[in-house]
Amino acid sequence: MARGLLDLYWVLRWLCVLLMVETVSGAGGPSAGTRISSQFPASGVNQSPVIDCREVCGLNASNRCDFVRSNPDCRSEGGYLDYLEGIFCHFPPDLLPLAVTLYAFWLLYLFLILGVTAAKFFCPNLSAISTTLKLSHNVAGVTFLAFGNGAPDIFSALVAFSDPRTAGLAFGALFGAGVLVTTVVAGGIAILHPFTVASRPFLRDIIFYMGAVFLIFTALYRGRVTLAWALGYLGFYVFYVVTVVLCTWIYQWQQRRSLVYSMPGTPEILSGSEEDQVSSNTNSYDYGEEYRPLLFYQETTAQILLHALNPLDYRKWRTKSVYWRVLKVFKLPVEFLLLLTVPVMDPDKEDGNWKRPLNCLHLVISPLFLVLTLQSGAYGVYEIGGLFPVWAVVVIAGTALAAVTFFATSNSEPPRLHWLFAFLGFLTSALWINAAATEVVNILRSLGVVFRLSNTVLGLTLLAWGNSIGDVFSDFTLARQGYPRMAFSACFGGIIFNILVGVGLGCLLQISRGHVEVELEPDGLLVWVLAGTLGLSLVCSLVSVPLQCFQLNRVYGCCLLLLYLTFLLVALLTEFGVIHLKTV
């Protein structure tokens, strides 16, 4: 499945267009002229003053609930739960620490949902789509991990940009994740496995990333993003992908021309032997041969359904550690619901992962999940002609289609149109991620109200840390397995995608609602500290790595870790007013 993930840019663009349809068609969007700042109310006929929701903690405990319910700044535009009302209306003031603790655990579980959905359902369907469409896989290893790990970041940014009050989360998360990946992750790779980085790919990626940071910095300085700038961000990433493809093609052409086959493979692309070794290291032992029955046994339809809906592999359970088992227990409910709602097509399997009873069930449940997820269920409960709800129409149509599919297919052989399930699973898993990201943003905003923290500091800490877990684990695993070059290149390729597509599409969503431009109001000095630190880390790497003859050692890694700790300290001191600009 590794080959199918190497050229998925246009597929992700289609996904983002679909999500734009959801966000643009929402009725609760801000009116024209909205600023990306909570300090400016939406323009309209009634210009009643809007008080910052963070002032609620300064009120008497008896007045907090009414304040949260009546203040427009405390309302959430999307999501299924009202977290601020839950804290201040359903928990006594003495139990506020308990409410915050419960929200923190729920936040961690949402990050777990994001990771499981992206790794086991979103990426496999992307791989199946790329194989079905016969997309080229010339894009280098930078995109191998970038597209897989970037889904939570992109969805979080899109959700944050859809509400003017949470746009600071998007900037904080994208810049914060950039600082985290280019310092902690890159430094950790150098500490785990010192290596010599490929010079040309490194210089190419870091220069492109510096260009992306400069474009975002310019937008913040200008204070607005027009349609041309938003499209320019997306176009710049397309130019980056084209450059990577051309560099790879030129390198391969030079290899064929010089007939030098003894040279090591490019750090951007895994050779066939490396790819096999990665897969063998990941799956160190194949239990399939050991547990395969000696006699052929035909499973019944009910048994196929039960096995397909079982997220627990008992053979793997017996061999894993206690930590893995505890984590698996928390994953089981999520994995079961995902298996029930998201079809997964695997082109590497002989039957393409065709499960006849479950796939027929998906034809009913997946469309129902889609209409109940779009715009937080607003479309699903809409009644056609005031009589018949949309969700009932979807259930009837899905049941009819499932019945035809069930009687026209067999358990052993997948149908000719089985590849369509990859698109259905792709869209369903994307909306799973979008729904979880919406709840993450709403929780973080609620915690910011309780602790009187800005959205930017929440984005650069909690949101950036949560969304970067996938990058940390995957890159460190590759480094320990002996592939630090690929892991290091992924540090830059993934965040180039995140920052350009995240900001570009986020601003494009606002412009598509009728705004001439999106006005940006930086959240004080902290945004400039964040952008400056990211630029400083890139400049330091651009200067120090060539001076070391592109040999990255543990000293370089420790310096990057020290830089991140210093940045975190400065950011927190800035947030709490210890570091501030003098007013004239």
CA distance 288 to 130: 27
Q: What angle do CA 354, 136, 283 make, to 5 degrees?
A: 50
pLDDT digits (tens, 9 = 90+) for 379-391: 777 788 777 888 8
CA-closest candidate to residue 430, choices 373, 470, 504: 373
Q: Pick from 257, 42, 272, 230: which is nearest to 137 by CA?
A: 272
Q: Are 552 and 496 in contact (CB under 8 A)?
A: no
Structure confidence at residue 405 as a pLDDT band (50, 70, 90) = very high
What is the mean predicted confidence (pLDDT) over 168-194?
84
**Can you say how many angstroms the Cα of residue 59 is from the centroid of all Cα atoms in its chain?**
37
Q: Identify the three-state secondary structure at position 383.
A: strand
Which stretch of 143-152, 330-339, 351-360 has the lowest confidence by average pLDDT? 143-152
Note the pLDDT of residue 295: 53
Q: Rounded to the nearest 5°, which phi and psi values hold at 551?
A: -100, 115
At 523 the three-state DSSP class reads coil
More confident residue, 317 or 33: 317
pLDDT at 467 over 70: no
More confident residue, 475 or 4: 475
Q: By three-state DSSP, how is residue 495 classified?
A: helix
User: Is 112 exposed, middle or buried, given 0-12, 13-18 or 19+ CB atoms closer than 10 A?
Assistant: middle
Strand runs (DSSP E) across 299-454, as ranges? 383-384, 388-389
pLDDT of residue 171: 75
- Neighbour count for residue 45 (Cβ, 10 Å): 4
DSSP state of 516: S
Q: Could you tell me how many residues make up the chain?
A: 584
- Spatial separation of the C-alpha atoms in residues 129 and 345, rounded to whole Å: 9
Residue 342 in this model has a pLDDT that exceeds 90: yes
Assign 336 a pLDDT band (cuts: 50, 70, 90).
Answer: very high
Predicted confidence band at 343 (pLDDT cuts at 50, 70, 90)? very high
Q: How far apart are CA 311 and CA 340, in angstroms?
A: 10
Q: What is the pLDDT of residue 152?
A: 64
In a 13 Å sphere around the CA of 34, the CA atoms on its Cβ side amount to 25
| Cβ neighbours for 518, distance < 8 A, ≥ 6 positions apart | 36, 224, 225, 226, 230, 507, 510, 511
pLDDT tens string 241-255: 888 878 878 877 887
Measuring CA to CA, which residue among 36, 153, 122 is closest to residue 502?
153
Quote the pLDDT of residue 504.
87
**Percent of the chain's residues with pLDDT above 90:** 17
* Digit-coded pLDDT (tens) for 256-270: 777 655 545 444 444
